[in-house]
Amino acid sequence: MKNKYFFSIILLILNLSGFSQSFLDGILVLNEGNFGSNAASVSFINGSNQVTNNIFGSANNNASLGDVGQSMAIHDDKAYIVLNGSNTIKVVNYETFELIATINIGVTFPRHMAFHNNKAYVTCWGDGYDPSDDYLAVINLTTNLVESTIPMAEGVETIEVVNSKLYVAHTGGYGYGTTVSVIDIPSYTISSITVGDLPNSMIVNGNYLYVLCNGMPSWSGQPETPGRIVKIDLSNNSIVQNLPFAGITHPRHLIADATNLYYTVGDYIYKMPFTDVVLPANHFIDTPVVADEYSGIYGLNLIDNKIYVADANGYAAQGYAHVYNNAGVLLNTYTLGNIPNHFYKSKESSLGNDDNTLGTFTVYPNPAVSTVFITTDKNTEVTLYDMTGKMVKKESYTLSGIDVSNLQKGIYLMEINSDNQKQVVKLAVK
């Protein structure tokens, strides 16, 4: 009787909540898509190294995400996907990627965004050929409306929030920038720090801001210059270290862990401890990315001590992610969508409550056609019920997954038991 009562309660909750797929305990990848192709998408790499591409489409009746996925930002239970070519920001549920809102008024060629209190600040190029119309769009997160704009110098790009200040790198749009703007949030007063040609990425570590400048490229029509790393003291915004690269070297993609900076040059990744005062002579990782004067590693992130490398694969239909541990050893290569450019940690699943009716398992694919897998490395028992409460399958889970090909199409409840954890998942078989 107790089991029937438990099943009825779970069935009621799931029916009221409706069916949606969760993307938990993994890595989200934003795929930019070629300009004009409307091919931006999001991929999901789960804890068992399985890839699901185009999760926005699967969560929203195969709707298109948009044109040029520039960046994504996470705030509370929402993900904000910045679509540069569509002049749009799409707000989705961080767990299911179901669409919540679309912001398409007041954001012209948006690039990156950051959050402070209940507002989002979005760097917008405006007309890329007009050096006078760049700005920050200020979005009210309650209404998802642009409530004001802050005029900026040309080429606003990456943005960081430190205390009550915004730091914005000016890469230059279709021109060329050399500064980082500092905006005091309460007053919106702006000051400027000259750092070097084309500052393309920034990292905050303690009381310092590290800025990586790409340097002027050979194809710019201006004298070519090398890149540099600039260290800024955030207490007074003064430059305390300026490290130019030897020769004509153009670094990109600055990231960091607790003790080291990492950056790319072509297909190489370099590693530099924060305590060093000279740039490293030798590379840390030689990636399989094909690089030339115009291309190389397309994106770089470090999540949970793993380094994620975006490989645009010649801007072909499918790009790749190469994943390394913090010792520089290649762990996996994944096939993704068109032009992967950024990696983000997905939402983490909730811990179980006292009676263990919640858990930390991810079930995929869902909906399923033939086989269902579970993210677990423990002894796990799986029981499937139809919507009348009748048990239709019970077996121990193996890496081969659970065969559901002999089940009728429809909705089932999957009860997962492992040690002291129990989770019930609504599974669709089609």
What is the spatial distance between Cα 98 and Cα 22, in angstroms, rounded to a whole number?
10
Could you tell me if 321 and 311 are in contact, meaning their C-beta atoms sit under 8 angstroms apart?
Answer: yes
What is the spatial distance between Cα 15 and Cα 35, in angstroms, rounded to a whole number?
41
Which pLDDT value is given to residue 8? 57
Taking the CA atoms of 405, 411, 413 and 414 in sequence, report the sign of the dihedral they define. positive
Which pLDDT value is given to residue 351? 39
Which pLDDT value is given to residue 364? 84
Which pLDDT value is given to residue 399? 84
User: pLDDT per residue over 375-385, tens digit each?
Assistant: 877 788 899 98
Which pLDDT value is given to residue 191? 97
Could you tell me if 41 and 58 are in contact, meaning their C-beta atoms sit under 8 angstroms apart?
Answer: no
Domain boundaries, the chain: 2-20+359-429, 27-345
User: pLDDT per residue over 88-119, tens digit each?
Assistant: 999 999 999 999 999 999 999 999 999 999 99
Q: What string of H, E and C letters represents the secondary structure of the chain?
A: CHHHHHHHHHHHHHHHHCCCCCCECCEEEEECCCCCCCCCEEEEECCCCCEECCHHHHHCCCCCCCCCEEEEEEECCEEEEEECCCCEEEEEECCCCCEEEEECCCCCCEEEEEEECCEEEEEECCCCCCCCCCEEEEEECCCCEEEEEEECCCCEEEEEEECCEEEEEECCCCCCCCEEEEEECCCCCEEEEECCCCEEEEEEECCEEEEEECCCCHHHCCCCCCCEEEEEECCCCEEEEEEECCCCCCCEEEEECCCEEEEEECCEEEEEECCCCCCCCCCCEECCCCCCCCCCCCEEEEECCEEEEEECHHHCCCCEEEEEECCCCEEEEEECCCCEEEEEECECCCCCCCCCCCCCCCEECCCECCEEEECCCCCCEEEEECCCCCEEEEEECCCCCEECCCCCCEEEEEEEEECCEEEEEEEEEC
What is the spatial distance between Cα 135 and Cα 337, in angstroms, rounded to a whole number?
30
Give the chain's residues under pLDDT 70. Answer: 1-20, 174-175, 293, 350-360
**Is the CATH code 2.60.40.3080 the one for domain 2-20+359-429?**
yes
Which pLDDT value is given to residue 36? 94
Q: What is the pTM of this model?
A: 0.80
Class of CATH domain 27-345: mainly beta
